[in-house]
């Protein structure tokens, strides 16, 4: 991930890029950012800036020629580091190199002020600590995040969801999430998550590892929620998740499913089945689905009619009965399938005997 900074103004950046034959995309030109696209690779080029005013959600900026002034508007010391791309010389204005070596995430200056400028920095602090930090979080930063947790309510739910899901997508965020729950960081925006749910997240992370399944943020969010589909649905709406995300969250919050993993995957789809199995601490069953493809029911309504079943709603009803028994029996073919079909036809014909012939 490479970002460039420059004293050049955005119009000058565009001019220089186009002169060099590099595509320039004005992705955030009002904030000084131009995206250079070379060989299909995008690189953001941003003019040095300083904050004129902030309201906790967005900043009004003006351009500057002062590198220190630009670095001072960053959130953490490690994010204020910069280097000359030609000489490799490192510029460290706030002790970021030492913090990076110590794997310590620390705000620049007063943490309270940094959070007042952009409330999302509360969640960013925990994300960077979960990803890069070691040991306990910086005490001053942690206290500031705790005291200002209510500031999160001023943010859009999309920004909160995006940052929270980034935290949950990390290799093992359990310890950091535990700190967040203990400190009540999420209570203003997600009061449904109780500290006691941390053990469910820890169990899920272990199950994902045992099943060799990649970490999944939505699945992990489900582990933190009460096992009530309606509650999960309300939270998904509140966080403005996609329709697919809402469906997954509600499905994962449903009661654990019994039966074979293949039968579960046939009914729900593989992704939702893997969610359910991992949340139920069944990593071995989840692993079985890695290369499994759902088979197609080998018989259709036409074949049932050809064997004497009268046309009408009874055909679809009988076919559903056959499919259910076929799935429960483990998707048999040949004789096993024939037994299921014959029994279903016998039952259907018994419930719908032929009409007596008219005199």
Given pLDDT bands bounded at 50, 70 and 90, which one contains residue 359?
very low
**Average pLDDT for 304-310:** 94
- Examine the pLDDT at 87 and tell me if it is beyond 50: yes
Name 36's bridge partners.
24, 43
Q: How far is residue 274's CA from residue 287's CA, in Å, rounded to a whole number?
A: 8
Pairing label, strands 90-91, 82-83: antiparallel
**Average pLDDT for 109-130:** 97
Residue 36 pLDDT: 97
Name the DSSP class of 233.
Answer: H
Tens of pLDDT, residue by residue over 315-329, are: 999 999 999 999 999
Q: How far is residue 121's CA from residue 114's CA, in Å, rounded to a whole number?
A: 8
**Average pLDDT for 45-72:** 93
Which of the residue ranges 79-83, 226-230, 300-304, 336-340 would you say has the lowest mean pLDDT? 226-230
**Average pLDDT for 186-196:** 94
Pairing label, strands 59-63, 82-83: unpaired
Residue 351 pLDDT: 59
Residue 350 pLDDT: 76
Q: Is 327 left (phi over 0), alpha (psi -120 to 50) or beta?
A: alpha
As a whole-number percent, the residues of the chain with pLDDT over 70 amount to 97
**Burial of 325 per CB tally in 10 Å (0-12, 13-18, 19+):** middle
**Average pLDDT for 196-203:** 96
Tokens standing for residue 207:
């199950």
Measured between alpha carbons, how far apart are the two ends of the chain, in Å?
87
Contact 334, 340 (CB under 8 A): no
Residue 352 pLDDT: 59
Residue 358 pLDDT: 46
Tens of pLDDT, residue by residue over 128-149, are: 999 999 999 999 999 999 999 9
Global pTM value = 0.88
- Examine the pLDDT at 83 and tell me if it is beyond 60: yes
Contact 91, 30 (CB under 8 A): no
Given pLDDT bands bounded at 50, 70 and 90, which one contains residue 55?
confident
Given pLDDT bands bounded at 50, 70 and 90, which one contains residue 30?
confident
Given pLDDT bands bounded at 50, 70 and 90, which one contains residue 357?
very low
Tokens 């799935």 correspond to 327
Across 97-114, b (16+ Cβ under 10 Å) vs e yields: eebbeeebbbbbeebbeb
Contact 54, 118 (CB under 8 A): yes
Q: Quick one: how far is CA 51 from the chain centroid?
A: 31
Residue 255 pLDDT: 72
Tokens 């119009």 correspond to 11
Tens of pLDDT, residue by residue over 232-270, are: 999 999 999 999 999 999 999 887 777 899 999 999 999
């Amino acid at each position: 991930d490479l970002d460039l900074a420059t004293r050049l103004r955005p119009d000058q950046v565009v001019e220089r890029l186009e002169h060099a034959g590099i595509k320039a995309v004005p992705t955030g030109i009002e904030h000084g950012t131009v995206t250079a696209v070379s060989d299909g690779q995008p690189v953001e080029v941003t003019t040095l800036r300083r904050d004129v005013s902030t309201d906790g959600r967005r900043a009004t900026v003006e351009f500057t020629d002062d590198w220190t002034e630009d670095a001072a508007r960053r959130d953490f010391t490690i994010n204020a580091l910069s280097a000359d791309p030609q000489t490799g010389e490192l510029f460290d204005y706030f002790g970021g190199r030492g913090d990076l070596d110590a794997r310590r995430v620390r705000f620049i200056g007063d943490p309270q002020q940094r959070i007042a400028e952009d409330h999302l920095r509360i969640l960013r602090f925990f994300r960077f600590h979960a990803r890069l930090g070691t040991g306990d979080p910086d005490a001053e930063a942690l206290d500031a995040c705790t005291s200002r947790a209510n500031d999160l309510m001023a943010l859009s739910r999309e920004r909160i969801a995006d940052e929270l899901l980034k935290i949950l997508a990390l290799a093992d965020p359990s310890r950091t999430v535990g700190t967040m729950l203990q400190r009540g960081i999420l209570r203003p925006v997600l009061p449904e998550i109780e500290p006691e749910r941390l053990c469910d997240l820890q169990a899920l992370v272990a199950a994902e590892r045992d099943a060799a399944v990649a970490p999944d943020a939505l699945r992990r969010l489900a582990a933190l929620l009460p096992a009530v589909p309606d509650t999960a649905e309300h939270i998904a709406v509140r966080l403005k998740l996609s329709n697919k995300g809402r469906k997954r969250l509600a499905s994962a919050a449903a009661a654990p499913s019994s039966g074979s993993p293949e039968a579960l995957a046939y009914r729900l789809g593989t992704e939702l089945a893997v969610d359910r199995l991992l949340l139920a601490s069944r990593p071995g069953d989840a692993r079985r689905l890695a290369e499994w493809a759902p088979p197609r029911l080998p018989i259709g309504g036409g074949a049932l009619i050809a064997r004497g079943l009268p046309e009408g709603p009874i055909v679809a009803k009988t076919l559903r009965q056959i499919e259910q028994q076929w799935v429960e029996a483990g998707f048999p073919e040949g004789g096993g399938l024939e037994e299921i079909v014959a029994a279903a036809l016998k039952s259907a014909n018994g419930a719908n005997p032929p009409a007596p012939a008219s005199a």
